[in-house]
Amino acid sequence: MDLINTTIMGPLIPLGQIASGWDFVIALLIGIAFGFILEASGFSSSRNITGVFYGYNFVVLRVFLTAVVVAMIGLLYFNYMGWIDLNLIYVVPTYINSMVIGSVLMGLGFILGGFCPGTSYTGIAIGKIDAMVFTGGLFLGIFLFSELFPALESFYYGDSLGSATIEDVFGISNEKFSFIFVIIAIIVFYVTWLIEKRVRKTVNPYKFE
Amino acid sequence: MHIHELNPKKTIIALSLFVIVIVVGLITLSGPRLKYELTPEQTIELVAWEDGYVFPYELEDILAGTVDTVIIMDIRNTFDYSRGHIPSSENISTVGLLNEDNLKRLKKLKEDGFCVLIYGETLQHAVGPWMVYRQLGFDNVKALMGGYEYYELWKDNLGDSYADDGYLIGTADFDYYDVASNVTMQENDNEKQPIKVVRKKKSTVVEGGC
Amino acid sequence: MDTVSKEKSIPKYINPYFGGVLLGLLLLVTFYITGRGLGASGAVKSAVVSTVEKIAPVHAEESTYYSKFISTDHSPMFNWLVFESIGVFIGGLLSGVLFGRVKKLRVEHSPKITSKTRIIAAGLGGILFGFGSQLGRGCSSGAALSGTAAFSFGGLLVMVVLFGSGYVFAYFFRKLWI
Amino acid sequence: MNRNYILLMIVIVVLAGGLLFLPQKANYIQQDPEKLMWDIAQPTRYITTDEVAKMIIEKDPLYQLVDVRADYDYDMFSLPGAYNIPLDSLLTEQSDIILDVEDINTILYSDDDLKADQAWVITRRMGYKNIYVMKGGLNCWIRTIIQPKEPKETAPITEFELYKFRQGASIYFTGTEISLDAGEKKTLNVTRRKKETVAEGGC
pTM over 0.80: no
pLDDT at B162: 67
Question: Between B3, B22, B98, which is nearest A77 by CB?
Answer: B22
Q: Do C18 and B3 touch (CB under 8 A)?
A: no
pLDDT at D178: 41
Query: What mean pLDDT is reported for chain B?
Result: 76
CATH, range B7-184: 3.40.250.10
Q: What pLDDT, in 10s, does the model give residues A81-112?
A: 878 888 888 888 899 999 999 999 999 999 99
Residue D86: CA count within 13 A, CB half-sphere: 10
Query: What mean pLDDT is reported for chain C?
Result: 86
pLDDT at D176: 64
Give me the torsion for CA of D124, D130, D135, D138, rounded to 10°: -90
Task: Give how far D19 is from chain A: nearest CA, Å.
Answer: 6
Q: What pLDDT, in 10s, does the model give residues B59-77?
A: 887 887 777 788 888 988 8
Question: Between C43, C87, C103, which is nearest A32 by CB?
Answer: C87
pLDDT at B100: 83
pLDDT band at A113 (very low <50, low <70, confident <90, very high): very high
The CA distance from B38 to C105, in Å, is: 72
pLDDT at B30: 66
Which of B130, B131, B199 has the highest number of chain D CBs within 10 A, making it the mutation to test binding with D? Answer: B131
pLDDT at B202: 40
pLDDT at D162: 86
Along the 178 residues of chain C, how does pLDDT read in single tens digits?
A: 444 444 445 567 889 999 999 999 999 999 998 888 888 888 898 899 888 888 888 888 888 888 888 776 677 777 888 999 999 999 999 999 998 888 888 888 888 888 899 999 999 999 999 999 999 988 888 889 999 999 999 999 999 999 999 999 999 998 888 7
H/E stretch holding D46: strand D46-47
Residues of B with CB under 8 A from a CB of A: 2-4, 15, 18, 22, 25-26, 29, 95, 98
- Domain ranges for chain C, please list them: 1-103, 107-178
Residue type, B24: V
C-alpha closest to that of C138 among C45, C7, C58:
C45
CB B177 within 8 A of CB B157: no
pLDDT greater at residue B18 or residue B152: B18
CB B32 within 8 A of CB D33: yes
pLDDT at D35: 82
pLDDT at A206: 65
- Domain ranges for chain B, please list them: 7-184
pLDDT band at B201 (very low <50, low <70, confident <90, very high): very low
Which of D24, D31, D108, D121 has the highest number of chain B CBs within 10 A, making it the mutation to test binding with B? Answer: D121
pLDDT at A10: 72
> Which ipTM value was assigned to this complex?
0.70
pLDDT band at A66 (very low <50, low <70, confident <90, very high): very high
Q: Please measure the distance between the N-terminal and C-terminal CA atoms of chain D and give it in whole angstroms.
A: 78
What SS3 state is found at C64? coil
The CA distance from C65 to C49, in Å, is: 9
Residues of chain B with Cβ-Cβ distance to C18 below 8 Å are 8, 10-11, 14
- Domain ranges for chain D, please list them: 3-137
Q: What pLDDT, in 10s, does the model give residues B29-57?
A: 766 677 788 888 888 888 777 678 888 88
Q: What pLDDT, in 10s, does the model give residues B64-116?
A: 777 778 888 898 888 888 888 888 888 887 777 888 888 888 888 888 888 88
Q: What pLDDT, in 10s, does the model give residues B139-173?
A: 888 888 888 888 888 877 777 766 677 777 777 77
The CA distance from A170 to A181, in Å, is: 13
Residues facing D27 on adjacent strands = none
Which of D2, D11, D15, D44 has the highest number of chain A CBs within 10 A, making it the mutation to test binding with A? Answer: D15
Residues facing A160 on adjacent strands = A95
Query: What mean pLDDT is reported for chain A?
Result: 87
Q: Do C15 and B18 touch (CB under 8 A)?
A: no
Residue type, B85: H
Q: What architecture does CATH give domain D3-137?
A: 3-Layer(aba) Sandwich (3.40)
pLDDT at A208: 60
The mean pLDDT of D123-132, rounded to a whole number, is 86
The count of other CB atoms within 10 Å of the CB of residue B35 is: 14
Q: Do B14 and C25 touch (CB under 8 A)?
A: yes
- In terms of DSSP bridges, do strands B115-119 and B70-74 run parallel, antiparallel, or are they unpaired? parallel
C-alpha closest to that of A34 among D3, B105, C38, B38:
C38
H/E stretch holding B90: strand B90-91
Which residue is closest to A63 within chain B, CA to CA?
B11
What SS3 state is found at A206? coil
Q: Do D77 and B180 touch (CB under 8 A)?
A: yes
Dmax (CA) of chain C: 64
Query: Peptide bond before D33: cis, by omega within 30 degrees of 0?
Result: no
Q: What are the residue ranges of helices labelled H in chain A? A: 23-40, 46-54, 59-80, 96-113, 117-125, 129-157, 166-170, 174-202
**B123 backbone dihedrals φ, ψ, rounded to 5°:** -65, -40
Task: List the subunits that have 3+ CB pairs under 8 angstroms with A.
Answer: B, C, D
Q: Is the model's pLDDT at A202 over the cut of 50? A: yes
Task: List the subunits that have 3+ CB pairs under 8 angstroms with C.
Answer: A, B
A42 inside 8 A of chain C by CB: yes
The CA distance from A92 to C97, in Å, is: 35
The mean pLDDT of D78-82, rounded to a whole number, is 86
pLDDT band at A6 (very low <50, low <70, confident <90, very high): very low
Return the minimum-mean-pLDDT range out of A46-55, A96-105, D189-198: D189-198
Q: Do D19 and A76 touch (CB under 8 A)?
A: yes
Question: Between A3, A4, A73, which is nearest D16 by CB?
Answer: A73
Q: Residues B41, B42, B46, CA angle at the centre, nearest 5°?
A: 120
Give me the torsion for CA of B33, B38, B40, B46, rounded to 10°: -130
pLDDT at D24: 67
The mean pLDDT of D85-95, rounded to a whole number, is 85
Q: What pLDDT, in 10s, does the model give residues A117-158?
A: 999 999 999 999 999 999 999 999 999 999 998 888 889 888
The mean pLDDT of D10-35, rounded to a whole number, is 79
The count of other CB atoms within 10 Å of the CB of residue B66 is: 10
The CA distance from D116 to D3, in Å, is: 65
Question: Between D1, D16, D34, which is nearest A179 by CB?
Answer: D16
Which residue is closest to A81 within chain D, CA to CA?
D25
C15 inside 8 A of chain B by CB: yes
Q: Do C174 and A163 touch (CB under 8 A)?
A: no
Residue type, B28: T
Q: Where are the beta strands (DSSP E) in B65-120?
A: 70-74, 90-91, 115-119
Q: Is the model's pLDDT at A52 over the cut of 80? A: yes
pLDDT greater at residue C176 or residue B181: C176
The count of other CB atoms within 10 Å of the CB of residue D10 is: 11
Q: Is the model's pLDDT at B124 over the cut of 50? A: yes
Distances (CA, A) of D145 to B195, C60, D57: 21, 51, 12
pLDDT band at D1 (very low <50, low <70, confident <90, very high): low
Q: Is the model's pLDDT at D188 over the cut of 50? A: no
The mean pLDDT of B119-125, rounded to a whole number, is 86
Give the domain range for residue A75: 20-202
Residues of chain D with Cβ-Cβ distance to B43 below 8 Å are 121-122, 125
C165 inside 8 A of chain A by CB: yes
Q: Is the model's pLDDT at D94 over the cut of 90? A: no
Give chain D's length.
203
Residue A175: inside a domain, yes or no? yes
The mean pLDDT of D146-170, rounded to a whole number, is 84
Chains B, C: CB pairs < 8 Å: 20
Contacts of D149 (CB under 8 A, 6+ apart): D143, D163, D198, D200
SS (H, E, C) A76-97: HHHHHCCCECHHHCCCCCEEHH
Question: Between B166, B170, B192, which is nearest D115 by CB?
Answer: B170
CB C140 within 8 A of CB A161: no
Residue A11: inside a domain, yes or no? no
